[in-house]
Structure 1
Amino acid sequence: MSLTEPGPWLLVVAAAHLGFQLTVDLVVYPALGDTTDDAWDEAHARHSRRIAPLVGLLYVPLVALLAWTVAVEPQAVGTWLATVGGALAVVTTAALAAPMHGRLAAVAPAERRDLLRTLDRVDRVRTAGAVVCLAGAVLLAG
């Protein structure tokens, strides 16, 4: 495998993506869930401002690398495993998690708790997608 092929790059980005997802799932969202009602607006606004650039820094290269991998190694099982996992994470983020964050900024505290529980479940789907994506990248590299 050479650095002129997508495999090694996909492996690095998929591993970084999983690390990011695990951090959000196990650290960031639980901390948000522990935020008091009077501190919520500022804490959530800070989270949103800080997380958006990281999502872009990870998702843009992830999508580009998955597309490159599909273009040059369409016969490999690892390609499709990584693509399905990556797509699951990206689509779940765009279709569910991001809109939930928009709603979290405006709901009452009682509704916020329910929405945060739903967001936790959605985030588990994104994390599972990141695991599958990394597994595909490992398979491709092997």
Structure 2
Amino acid sequence: MGVGVVLWAALLVAATALHAGFQLTVTALTYPALVEVEETRFARAHALHSRRIVPLVALVYGTVVVTCLGALVTAPGAVAVWVAAAASAVAVLVTALRAAPLHGRLGRHGPDAALLTALTRADRVRTAAALAALVAAVVHAAGF
């Protein structure tokens, strides 16, 4: 591997690890806490969560997108890079097409059990995708 490939491979591992850690935190801590908020406090708790998480999502997803693109440009024939990029894209698309609209509905309608269940299911898909991306990035960086 050339220097550029090695650099982007290392950055890809770091970015996908950041993303996987973020998703695991949301799955294991953030959403369970949100589900347990009393109905009378839910609107405020959800609004605070939404305001606080958006900058972090932008940072994490932006980092993943940039590093996937950099790794794809420097190693366009590396299957593991394509897998990492595709898995990361799944997480981003599930967020944009499923989780964000569900959060919007929760913000308008309150703690609906069906919406919260759908949100946690979407989140599990994002977490699995982020973990798959991390594994692929490590495989690429290790040179397999």
Place the TM-score, normalised by the shorter chain, in its bin.
over 0.9
- Residue 19 (1) aligns with residue 21 (2): yes
Amino acid aligned to 2:115: L
CA contact (8 A) 1:11 1:134 kept: yes
Match of 2:42 in 1: 40
CA–CA separation in structure 2 for the residues paired with 1:27 and 1:64: 27
TM-score (norm 2): 0.92
Pairs aligned (count): 140
Cα-to-partner distance string for 1:35-75 (whole Å, 9 max, x where unaligned): 01100011000100110010011001111111111111111
CA–CA separation in structure 2 for the residues paired with 1:91 and 1:65: 17
Amino acid aligned to 1:129: A
Match of 1:81 in 2: 83
CA–CA separation in structure 1 for the residues paired with 2:89 and 2:106: 24
Alignment of structure 1 residues 1-12 onto 2, 5 Å: 2=3, 5-12=7-14
TM-score (norm 1): 0.94
Query: 3-state DSSP class of the match of 2:109?
Result: coil
Alignment of structure 1 residues 1-142 onto 2, 5 Å: 2=3, 5-109=7-111, 112-142=112-142
CA contact (8 A) 2:16 2:64 kept: yes
CA–CA separation in structure 1 for the residues paired with 2:60 and 2:139: 21
CA contact (8 A) 2:42 2:110 kept: no
Q: What is the Cα deviation at residue 108 of structure 1?
A: 4.8
Question: Runs of 4+ in structure 1 displaced over 3 angstroms?
Answer: 1-4
Which segments of 5 or more consecutive residues in structure 2 lack a partner in the other structure? none
CA–CA separation in structure 2 for the residues paired with 1:132 and 1:75: 19
Q: What is the Cα deviation at residue 20 of structure 1?
A: 0.4
Amino acid aligned to 1:88: V
CA–CA separation in structure 2 for the residues paired with 1:126 and 1:59: 12
Q: What is the Cα deviation at residue 84 of structure 1?
A: 1.3
CA contact (8 A) 1:10 1:65 kept: yes
Task: Give the % identical residues.
Answer: 44
CA–CA separation in structure 1 for the residues paired with 2:86 and 2:13: 15
Amino acid aligned to 1:40: F
